[in-house]
Amino acid sequence: MSQSPKPQRPTDPAKAAPSPKPSAPSARSSEPSRRSSEPSPRSSEPSPRSPEAPPPPVPTSADVARLAGVSRATVSYVLNNAAAVRISEPTRRKVREAAEELGYVPHAAARTLRAGHTRIVLLPTSHVPAGPLYSAFLDDLQWALRRLDYTVVQYGSLGLSGDQAARAWAELRPVAVISLGEIVLSARNVATLERAGAKAVITLGPVGVPGAHALVLDQGEVGAAAALHLVERGHRRIGVVVPEEPGLELFSAPRLAGARSVAGAEVEPVPLARTEESAGRLARRWRSLGLDAVYAYNDEYAMLLMRAFQDEGLRIPGDVAVIGADDLLLGRLLRPRLSTVRIQMPTGDYLAALVDRAVREGAEPAERHGLMAASAIPREST
Amino acid sequence: MSQSPKPQRPTDPAKAAPSPKPSAPSARSSEPSRRSSEPSPRSSEPSPRSPEAPPPPVPTSADVARLAGVSRATVSYVLNNAAAVRISEPTRRKVREAAEELGYVPHAAARTLRAGHTRIVLLPTSHVPAGPLYSAFLDDLQWALRRLDYTVVQYGSLGLSGDQAARAWAELRPVAVISLGEIVLSARNVATLERAGAKAVITLGPVGVPGAHALVLDQGEVGAAAALHLVERGHRRIGVVVPEEPGLELFSAPRLAGARSVAGAEVEPVPLARTEESAGRLARRWRSLGLDAVYAYNDEYAMLLMRAFQDEGLRIPGDVAVIGADDLLLGRLLRPRLSTVRIQMPTGDYLAALVDRAVREGAEPAERHGLMAASAIPREST
DNA sequence: TTGAAAGCGATACCAT
DNA sequence: ATGGTATCGCTTTCAA
């Protein structure tokens, strides 16, 4: 076992011939099959795209070096503006021109492998939650992260289990993962990611995840703000819409609980699907429920429900008060104008800074609460 | 040059001592700095996360091999279910258990480098266009691509120029790029990507891109369908909303042109921002415009405008007919119910199959038209 | 100032 | 049935 390495055949036949390269690597590396050491098949023309020519090999830094008449090391120095080494200006220009001419783009995988780490911040996406609130937040976050020189990669994780997802993400060796809460991570998953080099696993959602930096956005506050508002308006018997669509439980359950926590509120869960039919059915049996107000989960469900109530002859807010959440534009367009709960998300800058700190200083995982402020916006529907 | 390799120092000091490992690789590779060849610092415990311990090295296939008592080759065979090689069942189990125990996850970059290509399909995203139509399409596409074993990566490209973006994408060596039209690619950019190994550059949008597989989704059809519908209903003086929000010109201009192309329609462009104020202003000067119908770009703008009209005392469709586009749920909730144009996008399966064919057979770039069907859905607002 | 070369991790040949 | 090992492209040390 512990015998020293026996160089039965010369350690590296290829490297033995530095400059002109031995005629051809013969049938050596047979698998990747492409690649012929000379970038252009022969001529120097830009190759007018012959119909069935094998795809031209991707230029490497070695190609650039050859064209510029320097070593690969020099190419690397120039292209990365290496500060520790001084390269003459003529050489720099030669290198840059060669790179330009070949259309050279460095190979991220090779760099990653060499460096031992990436600057990838991975954002899992499953369903794009389509809300303008969310969109703006996402744009903001990406922007802030790029300013800090991270590469933002959204990884489509639709329909993956937590385990599958964690493995798939880990393969990319992201330096950080920011889970927006669509996929529920277990402590195991967090461990997988950290073993794969992730310096920060941040979850943004209604529940904390053991081992991760959790920004707990307490959805309960949303429900509480809504219920409190209704109670203050003199309502007591409050229906709370619980969407029937799967995947929303993580949000709806805490919102319901938050509403329940409000003193003076008698809360009744009300299942509702995001369809006209479901809303119609609910409206028709509404009077039998004996409720005088409803918190409709969010503005979309609220709109749906308001319409159904109105078609049923119920007056808003006279017969039933309605409040939504998310402060969508459409709420202001409804008549009566929809009261809502506005949710304050952490800014992209804040989150990006958190990532950066964790990456650089290895901040301890912790749960942060109270980052999400929820406040009722009274309009005409309550 | 052709001197045989001179092993000044043993080719690989690490490999020389498989089991106990030579104290440390001294100050050899100083840059990546981490990595100490032994996965666990010493003990076999899962390490109770000592406060300031250096991060444990990421396990590699070599670690798995060592733990399982086999070679790295064997590990690779087992973990990839290599068909060409038969490995005994006990060995397989040993390897799998070792991998499991270490929480081994293969390093995508290393595999990529070795393989010479990736299975990444890159979807640039800049603004998340937030429409449910778009979301559904995206989900669909990701799903279809994953079924074909591609890795879908959305690359946040907010605020990058075409050149910057193309370079950044090319670094990842994606096997295909599907540009959803938010970023406008030039022929140069396409060339950059193809030189970097992309087998297919597909653009999906109102305009074709030279050199790319272009799925031209002719937005003109949407405008035409809307205008035609209005003309058939007896309207002639038709306003066409042109959103003032930046980034929508690529869609709004062809839609406007499409409306203009309809015989019998007298089209007037109408700028409108996605705010209540803008809609209110427009509604107030509406009567002076002498128009009897409006195609409001999409359902959101239509809703905005309908509300403003109604607040202004204009009757719909009596005084002004309104039609939107995208067939959003909210259209059916408005009163009167909003007529709309439903847009038929190519399915994710179709697009995924197109990618796959291009990747495997190197299909020639071509423009495909007529993939987008648009049909008016009459409801009550026209 | 530049070049030679080691080596990051995984894979698939070619031996055994 | 397994193991040794060259290789992918890039960065960076060390030597010249």
What is residue B246's predicted lDDT score, i.e. its pLDDT? Answer: 79
Shortest CB distance from A16 goes to which of B4, B10, B172? B4
DSSP label at residue A28: -
Is residue A286 a contact partner of residue A237, using CB atoms and an 8 Å limit? Answer: no
Share of chain B above pLDDT 90, in %: 62
- pLDDT greater than 90 at residue B341: yes
Residue B84 or residue A225, greater confidence? A225
Which residue stretches of chain A are H helix? 61-68, 72-79, 89-102, 108-115, 132-147, 162-171, 187-195, 220-232, 249-260, 276-284, 299-311, 329-333, 348-361
Nearest residue of B to residue A167, measured between CA atoms: B105
Partners of residue A155 in chain B, C-beta under 8 Å: 152-154
Say which of B105, B303, B330 has its CB closest to residue A196: B105
- Using the C1' atom of nucleotide D6, identify the protein residue whose alpha carbon is closest: A12
| Least confident among A147-156, A333-342, B197-206, B209-218 | B209-218
List B residues 67-86 in contact with A (Cβ-Cβ < 8 A).
none
Q: What is the mean pLDDT of residues B99-126?
A: 94
Give the CB-side neighbour count of residue A98, counting CA atoms within 13 A.
26
Q: Which residues of A23-44 are buried (b: 16+ CB within 10 A; e: fewer)?
A: eeeeeeeeeeeeeebebeeeee
Concatenate the DSSP letters of all residues of B343-380 into one string. Answer: EEPPPHHHHHHHHHHHHHH-PPP-EE----EEEEE--S
Residue (of A86, A92, A150) closest to A123 by Cα position: A150
Chain C bases having any atom below 7 Å from a protein CB: 1-14
Query: Which residues of chain A are within 8 Å of residue B191 when distances are taken between CB atoms?
Result: 103
Q: A106 contacts in B (CB within 8 Å)?
A: 171
Residue A104's pLDDT is 97
CB nearest A135 (choices: B18, B128, B170): B128
Nearest Cα residue in chain A from B123? A154
Q: Please name the residues between 37 and 66 in chain B that touch chain A, using a CB distance below 8 Å.
A: 55-56, 58-59
Select from B18, B105, B192 the Cβ nearest to the Cβ of A103: B192
Task: Give the pLDDT score at B25.
Answer: 32
**Burial degree of B12 (CB within 10 A; 0-12, 13-18, 19+):** exposed
pLDDT at B40: 36
Task: List, for chain A, all residue ranges whose pLDDT scores fall below the cut of 50.
Answer: 1-51
Q: Give bridge partners of residue A153 from the DSSP assignment.
A: A122, B155
Q: Which helix (H) or strand (E) holds A37?
A: none
Q: In terms of CATH, what superfamily is A61-106?
A: lambda repressor-like DNA-binding domains (1.10.260.40)
pLDDT of residue A246: 78
Kindly tell me the sign of the dihedral angle through the C-alpha atoms of A310, A316, A320, A326. positive
In angstroms, the Cα distances linking A337 to A234, B188, B316, B377 are 19, 51, 20, 27
Terminal C-alpha separation, chain A = 79
The architecture CATH gives domain B117-217+347-372: 3-Layer(aba) Sandwich (3.40)
The domains spanning A61-106 and A117-217+347-372 adopt the same CATH topology: no
- Domain ranges, ordered by start, for chain B: 61-106, 117-217+347-372, 220-344
What value does the mean pLDDT take over residues B69-91?
91
Q: What is the pLDDT of residue A134?
A: 76
Smallest Cα distance from B316 to chain A, Å: 16
- The secondary structure of B173-192 as a DSSP string is --SEEEE-SSSPPPHHHHHH
Check whether residue B72 has its CB closer than 7 Å to nucleic acid strand D: yes
Residues 289-318 of B with CB under 8 A from A: 300, 303-304, 307
pLDDT at A127: 66
What pLDDT shows up at residue A40? 37
Q: A185-189, B183-187, B312-316: lowest mean pLDDT where? A: B183-187
Protein-to-nucleotide distance from the CA of A165 to the C1' of C16, whole angstroms = 40
The reply to whether residue B329 touches residue A4, judged by beta carbons under 8 angstroms, is no
A:92-131 Cβ neighbours of strand D under 7 Å: 104, 106-107, 110-111, 113-115
The answer for residues whose C-beta is within 8 angstroms of residue A195's C-beta and 6 or more apart is A170, B56, B58, B59, B102, B103, B105
pLDDT of residue A130: 56
Interchain proximity A5–B4, CB inside 8 Å: no
Among B171, B193, B309, B329, pick the best mutation site for testing chain A contact (most A Cβ within 10 A).
B171
Q: What angle do CA B204, B209, B214 make, to 5 degrees?
A: 40
In this predicted structure, what is the pLDDT of residue B148? 95
Chain D bases near protein CB atoms (7 A cut-off): 1-14
Query: Rounded CA gap, A112 and A115, in Å?
Result: 5
Query: What are the tens digits of pLDDT across the range B259-305?
Result: 999 999 999 999 999 999 999 999 999 999 999 999 999 999 999 99
Superfamily holding B220-344: Response regulator (3.40.50.2300)
In order of A12, B5, B14, B17, B90, the CA distances from B10 in angstroms are 13, 11, 9, 11, 34
Cβ of residue A62 near strand D, that is under 7 Å? Answer: yes
Give the pLDDT score at A56.
Answer: 79
Residue B71 has pLDDT above 90, yes or no: yes
DSSP letters along A133-159, please?
HHHHHHHHHHHHHHHTTPEEEEEE-TT
Q: How far is the CA of B84 from the C1' of C13 (A)?
A: 12
Mutate to test the interface with B, among A63, A330, A361 (most CBs of B within 10 A): A330
Burial B156-183 (b: 16+ CB within 10 A, else e): bbbebebeebbbbbbbbbbbbbbbbbbb
Using only the alpha carbons of chain A, give its radius of gyration.
30
Minimum distance, in Å, between the CA of residue A146 and any CA atom of chain B: 9
Q: How far is the CA of B56 from the C1' of D16 (A)?
A: 38
